[in-house]
Structure 1
Amino acid sequence: MSPNAERSGAVRSAAVVNEQIRALWERARGRLSVEERREYELLVTEWAAARRSEVVEAA
């Protein structure tokens, strides 16, 4: 989860997190620094949690 979402307790949709992941890759031009890799890992974890939440809600 991103630090901002974690602090506020807000849950972002998978689509919103996915857009942030895409923007990160675009900014990095396909090569992530160590710091960007950490951010990416947090975002992917947040995205997966959001997807699980969305699937449960849909059921």
Structure 2
Amino acid sequence: MIPSPPVCGSARSAAVVNDEIRELWPHPAVRLSSEQRARYEELVAEWAAVSRAESMRGEIVEAA
């Protein structure tokens, strides 16, 4: 399993995390394995945290 970067203090932007989400799950009809699903959930949590931080700084964030 790929280790997750820490959400707090993440150096990654929401756009970078969003790209990783799109690569992991390119289409809703694709079924994810249990490991992929866990990674997806981690990425979504990271994306949400980074998006909040970016919006607080006035940056524009577009959802996946």
Residue 54 of structure 2 is aligned to residue 49 of structure 1: no
User: 1:55 is aligned with what amino acid?
Assistant: S
Size of the aligned set, in residue pairs, is 53
TM-score (norm 2): 0.71
- 1:11 deviates by 2.5
Q: Quick one: structure 1 residues 43 and 33, their matched pair in 2 at CA, closer, same or farther if it must change by over 3 Å?
A: same
Q: Distance in 2 between matches of 1:10 and 1:49?
A: 9
The alignment-based identity, stated in percent, is 51
Q: Deviations over 1:17-51 (max 9, x none)?
A: 0000000013xx71100000000000000000011
Q: Trace 1:1-59 onto structure 2 (pairs within 5 A).
A: 3=4, 5-6=5-6, 10-26=10-26, 30-58=30-58
Equivalent pair of 1:18/1:47 in contact (CA under 8 Å):
yes
Aligned-partner SS, 1:58: coil
**Which ranges of structure 2 fall in alignment gaps of 5 or more residues?**
60-64
Q: Which has the higher helix share?
A: 1
**Which ranges of structure 1 fall in alignment gaps of 5 or more residues?**
none
